[in-house]
Structure 1
Amino acid sequence: MPRLNLATRLGLWALVFLSLAASAPTPRRKPAPDPERIAIETTLIREAGIAAQFLTPLAFRGCLHMRAGDDRFGGVSGLAVEGKERVIAITDRAHWLRFRVLWGADGSLAGVADAEIAALRDERGVALQSRRLTDSEGLARQGDGSYAVSFEQRHLLRLYAGPDPLRAAGMVIAELDQTAAIEDNGGLEALATAPDGALLAGEERGAAPSLWRLPAPISPAPKTPPKLAQATALRRSFGYALTGLDGLNDGGFVALYRFFAPGLGARAELRFWPPGDFWGERLALLNPPFPVDNFEAIAAIETAEETLILIASDDNFSASQRTLLCAFVWTRR
């Protein structure tokens, strides 16, 4: 038998190696770790001059500047509440935040406590990884205690069911038709649950932004997720974009809009959408000296005595911006 030269032998060994590698089982990725405690420091912002800016049915109840020595903290993009004290938030890098809100004797924000952080998971329970899959933006609590999350870039909705959303797998429940003319970073920014259990997802930017709807009952999708249906076109004030939405017990919604322009900085607008009216009335226009930042998240707390509105800002993980949590009391007519 003729002897093989060195190049031929190396080539044969390479083929053997590649064959073995191809036949080896793919290692299973580990489930995401359990929630971890995180220390959040707060500074209360409560200047008397700020309250004087409101000529609306809102009363200011303070802002908290929130900070944490953890690279995962920041980018708050969605907000939900369980009662008056328990807050669940998401960041736009696919993390959960959960904490208790502390209220002072006068009804103003006083601090936060018992904070936890955890990665959002995919349908296998593995932490979401690539940037295209981790741009989580909107958060909505369902009547059964589960949570829906909307994502930009790959425009879809995931459902986190079970007793603890921070430990739940995220099952895809709907996708946006990829033929829709939506920017990667201007998609399903706002998310809320309607009175009938349907999900409404608000588009942030575009020439004619829309509100999209997923009818109830909300459940994990089959292999081919259903497409969101276009519900209505969205109105907006010039230069503003819808960033947050939350449903109210009467069938209406509170909506948060963001504005930013070089030289002018950030602004925010709060609106009330009555049932069936997706424009409604302005509740507040937030300009300096109010501590305005990149407000993206909103949640309403309805009690027998009052309606509280919380808004939170996305600091873009930038040292020049802040994570703010602000509170208002809304006197409803």
Structure 2
Amino acid sequence: MRLVTRRNLLIGGGALIAAGAAGTAFAQRPQAFRNATRITVTAQPLSRLSATDPDRTQFGSLFFRSGLNLRSDVSAFGGFSGLWRSAKGQELVALADNAQVLKARIETSDGRLSGLSNAVMAPLLLSNGQLARRSRYYDTESLTIADNVAFVGVERNHAVIRYELDREGALIEGVPIPVPKELKDLPSNGGLEALALAPQRSTLAGALVGIAEGGTGFILTGPRQGAFEMAGRNGYDVTDLAFLDTGEAIVLERRFSLFGGFGCRLRRVAASAIKAGARVDGETIYESEASHQIDNMEGLAVHREGRETIVTLISDNNFNASLQRTLLLEFSLEA
């Protein structure tokens, strides 16, 4: 994420001095825990997405189910840029910008999100046992998990690290995988914001796909490796990516202006669109409005509940709970 965006954290205007203070807070992000540590997370339910139209549930191709405003007394809580939910949606892993993860169980009541239980913050560990936070791989921005293996995208010192996921929620045995020179040459603060593994029904079956904030994408593994470009529109930047079972992809994008605040957009990309050399676009299935209860939405996860496809978003509060919120929003996707 670009530093200028992180500095400007006030929603809908405000003082530039305060925005500068927020940038200082980002520069002094809290240290990750040394070991997996249980924490308490409180959750304020959100029953509506629109503050001005409380009865509205459909937003583009999405139907709002419920949301949570998450808080913790732990200073290292927040900064979530990547998100994963288990196949049935019961377990959550969120990647923070300071090389650690939150692992928790999602609680529901009457089909709505009600809170998180068994919350654990755990550091990312490299294969030599070193904390990733104290290595060149400290700025972690993107996450995907499959079969107890995780891939994490690292910014500034651009890399993708392969981890094993242990039972306590720690990502251990981190080893960098080979990446193309074009990825390493990205701007310092413009690395991989999105990572996802293509499903078997995709033409990229099993391939690891990543997209940088500026829209440069990479098929990183498999026989169809190569670079592609996401078509940019209206000032949005890519912040995450997830594949549907069909092979289609959902791309999460975010924009910010001092007077307009944060904006959020989701685009649906055809299964055959992502390929080496392609310019990739997709239909907009959701775009936020000023009345919507969003923040700096950076993490995206997709799972199935029966016949429903569930889309979950999480926001990055830049470790500044006084100015921003950690929101967990859940939608169902129109068939």
Report the TM-score, using the length of structure 2 for normalisation. Answer: 0.80
1:272 maps onto 2:268 in alignment = yes
1:138 maps onto 2:142 in alignment = yes
Q: CA deviation at 1:129?
A: 2.9
Query: Hey, what does 1:331 align to over in structure 2?
Result: 334
Q: Is the Cα contact below 8 Å between 2:158 and 2:184 reproduced in 1?
A: no
**Partners of 2:180 and 2:126 in 1: how far apart?**
18
Superposed CA RMSD in Å reads 2.2
Query: Hey, what does 1:43 align to over in structure 2?
Result: 44
* Other structure's SS at 1:121 match: strand
How many pairs does the alignment contain? 286
Query: Hey, what does 2:29 align to over in structure 1?
Result: none
Q: Which moved more, 1:74-83 or 1:276-285?
A: 276-285
2:259 to 233, 242, 263: 263
Q: Which moved more, 1:228-237 or 1:150-159?
A: 228-237
1:16-74 deviation per Cα after TM superposition (whole angstroms, max 9, x unaligned): xxxxxxxxxxxxxxxx8441111001111223725627442211012211111112111
1:64 to 61, 68, 79: 68
Counterparts of residues 1-333 of structure 1 (less than 5 Å): 33-47=34-48, 49-50=53-54, 52=56, 54-82=58-86, 83-105=88-110, 107-130=111-134, 132-142=136-146, 144-161=147-164, 163-164=166-167, 166-177=170-181, 181-195=185-199, 196-205=205-214, 209-216=215-222, 230-277=226-273, 278-318=280-320, 319-332=322-335
Q: Which has the higher contact order (CA 8 A, sep 6+)?
A: 2
1:226-281 deviation per Cα after TM superposition (whole angstroms, max 9, x unaligned): xx954311112221000011122111111100010111110000111120224222
1:140-196 deviation per Cα after TM superposition (whole angstroms, max 9, x unaligned): 123x33111101101111111255461522111133426865221111111100122
Q: CA deviation at 1:128?
A: 1.5
Distance 1:292 1:272, change over 3 A: same
Distance 1:270 1:312, change over 3 A: same
Distance 1:77 1:200, change over 3 A: same
Task: Using the aligned pairs only, state the percent identity.
Answer: 29
Q: Is the Cα contact below 8 Å between 2:220 and 2:226 reproduced in 1?
A: no
Unpaired segments of 5 or more residues in structure 2? Answer: 1-32, 200-204, 274-279
Q: Which moved more, 1:157-166 or 1:78-87?
A: 157-166
Paired letter, 1:88:
V
Q: CA deviation at 1:102?
A: 1.4
Distance 1:275 1:51, change over 3 A: farther
Q: Is the Cα contact below 8 Å between 1:189 and 1:244 reproduced in 2?
A: yes
Distance 1:180 1:154, change over 3 A: closer
Which of 1 and 2 has greater Rg?
1
